[in-house]
Structure 1
Amino acid sequence: MPAPALRVYDRAVVVVPAHNEKADLPACSRAVLTAGLCAPIPVSVVVVLDSSDDDSADLAGRYGPDVHFVSVDAHNVGAARAVGFGYGRSLCRDDEECWYATT
């Protein structure tokens, strides 16, 4: 049986759910962006602030146009990830050609 053909993607989206992670988000964002530099396709990061009250939202806009911040009040990491994937889909031309990852 022949090996399956490798898929080709146009973009990657990394979803980062966060609850009161202001102290850790800068290092996390830099690490994901640095790893993305090694990818042969554009990489976007979607940080989903879930019920955060530590001013994490103040970090929005500090990491360039490829890092997007979204706020929700879900109190649930799965729901936060789902919101992040939904937002990530809006960044892709075709959902079939977008690769998704999460932290």
Structure 2
Amino acid sequence: MKFADQRSFISKFQFFSKLCELSFVENIFLYGSRARGDFSDKSDIDIAVNMPKAAPEDWEIVMHIIDDADTLLAIDCVRFDTLKNLDLRNAIEKDKIVLFSREY
């Protein structure tokens, strides 16, 4: 699947729509095998949520949505703006596909 196909694939899930509706979410990035294009049908969905203006408890809301996601695929979700693992941050920056970006 190409970029447009991955974006279309993920946008069909309710969890993605719910994340986009959260006012404190600024960006959602796809990374990992689905962003690189070397995934299988059963590969997990790796997403990074950027929410620099969010309150500390807002991350719990995001994780609740992920925990209740409408897919059997595993979802690996990280908070991008507080990510201290530089190797992971660099990997996300290298491969990321912007799935959502809030316009202010």
Q: Do they superpose with TM above 0.5?
A: no
Larger Rg, first or second structure (1 or 2): 1
TM-score with structure 1 setting the length = 0.39
